[in-house]
Amino acid sequence: MDKEKQIGLLDTDEDLAEADILLLKNRALNVAAEGITIADMRLPNQPLIYINEGFERLTGYSAKSMVGKNCRFLQGEDTNPATVQEIRDALASGNECTVEILNHTKDGEPFWNRLSLTPVKDSSGEVTHFIGVQSDITKRKNAEEALRKANHQLEMVNRRMTRNLEAAAAIQSSLLPDKKPQSDKLNFSWICQPCDELGGDTFNFFPIDENRFAVYMVDVSGHGVRASLLSVTLSHWFLRLFQDNSEARSILPTDVAEELNQQFQMNMETPQYFTMCYGIIDAKSREFRFVTAGNPPIVVARDDSTIEVLKIEGFPVGIVGTPEYSENVIKLNSNERVFLYTDGLTEAEDKKENPYGIAKLADTILDNENNSLDDCVDSIMKSVNEWDSSRGLEDDVSILAFEITNS
C-alpha cells in the first residue's frame, strides 16, 4: 500500500484491495484517448502482450485478435521505410524513440500515428518489454500538408508577381534618360531610386534644337503599380510631344501644364494627381523658362557659392479644373547648376523623424561645387540614403540636375 501512495494514490481507502487498484489502473488505461501497447522483447517476433481500448478505437482491431502479433501489421506500402528503420534501431539498442508513421486501420484507412516507444528493464538492466503509445495525428498532418501546399502555391504566385513587377520596372526605367545628350552646351545628370519595385517618379529631357532642351520632372501621388502606370503614361505623353509632333516643340511651358491638367483630371477611377516641373533650357540666352505644378522648390547653385531656393506656388496637375499656371525664368551663368527633384528627397526622415530638408540638400550641393555634376548628384543620393538608413526610403527619390557648360 505504501508503494501505491508514493505514486499518487494518497487518498485511496486503506482498505482498498490490491485487485481493486489493478482494476482502476486498467480502467484508466482503457479510457485514455491514446493507444497503449506492450510488447514482450524476450519472445520471438516481439509480440504484443497488452492492447488497451484506445488502440482498438484507433485501429479498429480487437485486442483479442492482435495479442500475440507484432505491431508491424499496421504499416503499408506507403509507410516510409526510413521511419521503420528508426524504430528497428531504437528497439535493437533498447532506446526510447518517437516517430510519426503512416499506418492503416482495419478498414484500410490510412492514418498518421505518433508512436512513442519506451523500454522497460528488469532488475539486471535487461530490456524485457517496450511500451508503445499511439496517438492519431492525422488532422495535424493533413493541416500541415494543406499549409505546405498553400505555401507552395503562394510562393509560385509570389514568384510570378515578382517576375511581372521586375518586367514592369524594366519598362519604367527604360523611359528614363539612358545616356547623356551629345551637347557641348548643356550637361545633365540624374538618378532615380524607387522605394518599391515600381515608382511614381519619372523625368527626362529632349533636345529641341542645338541650343534648347525641354526637361520635365514628374511625381505621381503614391507609389507602387498604380502610380507607376500613370507615370509610364505620362512618359509616353512627353515622348510623343517631342518625337512625333514638331509643332509641339514650340509649346510654352504653361500650355503644356494646362494641356496635361485637362487630360489627366483626377476622378473615381484614377484618384491620382501629380506634381511636375516642366521647362525649356536655352543655352544661348542662358535661360530656364519653366512652369511648376506643386513640385518641391527648385534649387540653383550659383557661381558665387550661394544657393537659391525657388519656392513657387502651383497646383499639382489633375486636382482642380482650370488652374492658372505662370511661366518663370531663371537666368544662368556657365556652370551654375539647377536641381529638379521629387519630395521623397527632402522629406526623407532620419530615425528621429527629422526630414532631410532643403538646408541639408543645399549643404551637400555646396560641398560638391568643385566636383563634377555626376559626383554631386551621386553624393546627394548617398547622403539622403545615409540620413534615413535606419528606416529605408518611404518614397521614391529622383534628381535631375543640369548646367550650361558653354562659355
Ligand X SMILES: Cc1cc2nc3c(=O)[nH]c(=O)nc-3n(C[C@H](O)[C@H](O)[C@H](O)COP(=O)(O)O)c2cc1C
Binding interface with ligand X (CB under 6 A): 37, 39, 46, 70-72, 74-75, 84, 87-88, 91, 101, 103, 113, 115, 117, 130, 132, 134
Whole-number minimum distance, CB 97 to ligand X, in Å? 10
For ligand X, which is the closer residue by CB, 17 or 82?
A: 82
For ligand X, which is the closer residue by CB, 101 or 400?
A: 101
Whole-number minimum distance, CB 394 to ligand X, in Å? 56
For ligand X, which is the closer residue by CB, 132 or 294?
A: 132
Is residue 401 within 8 Å of residue 217, measured between CB atoms? no
Q: Which residue has the cell 501621388?
A: 221
Whole-number minimum distance, CB 124 to ligand X, in Å? 20
Torsion angles phi and psi, residue 311, rounded to 5? -95, 105
Q: Which residue has the cell 518663370?
A: 328
Give CA separation, 333 vs 127, 214, 338, 366, in Å: 98, 18, 11, 16
Rounded to whole angstroms, how far apart are CA atoms 328 and 277?
A: 11
Whole-number minimum distance, CB 228 to ligand X, in Å? 57
For ligand X, which is the closer residue by CB, 102 or 191?
A: 102
For ligand X, which is the closer residue by CB, 74 or 293?
A: 74
Strand bridging mode 201-207 / 212-220: antiparallel
Whole-number minimum distance, CB 94 to ligand X, in Å? 11
333: cell is 551663368
Whole-number minimum distance, CB 172 to ligand X, in Å? 58
Chain residue whose CB lies nearest ligand X:
132
Rounded to whole angstroms, how far apart are CA atoms 299 and 311?
A: 9
Torsion angles phi and psi, residue 74, rounded to 5? -75, -15
Rounded to whole angstroms, how far apart are CA atoms 390 and 55?
A: 58
Rounded to whole angstroms, how far apart are CA atoms 50 and 66?
A: 9
Whole-number minimum distance, CB 99 to ligand X, in Å? 8
From the list 318, 152, 305, 148, the residue with the least C-alpha distance to 220 is 318
For ligand X, which is the closer residue by CB, 11 or 107?
A: 107
Whole-number minimum distance, CB 89 to ligand X, in Å? 9
Rounded to whole angstroms, how far apart are CA atoms 275 and 218?
A: 6
Is residue 207 within 8 Å of residue 237, measured between CB atoms? no
For ligand X, which is the closer residue by CB, 141 or 226?
A: 141
Whole-number minimum distance, CB 100 to ligand X, in Å? 11
For ligand X, which is the closer residue by CB, 49 or 154?
A: 49
97: region left, alpha or beta (phi > 0 left; psi from -120 to 50 alpha):
beta
DSSP string, 137-164: -HHHHHHHHHHHHHHHHHHHHHHHHHHH
Burial environment of residue 186 by CB neighbours within 10 A (0 to 12, 13 to 18, 19 or more): buried
For ligand X, which is the closer residue by CB, 72 or 140?
A: 72
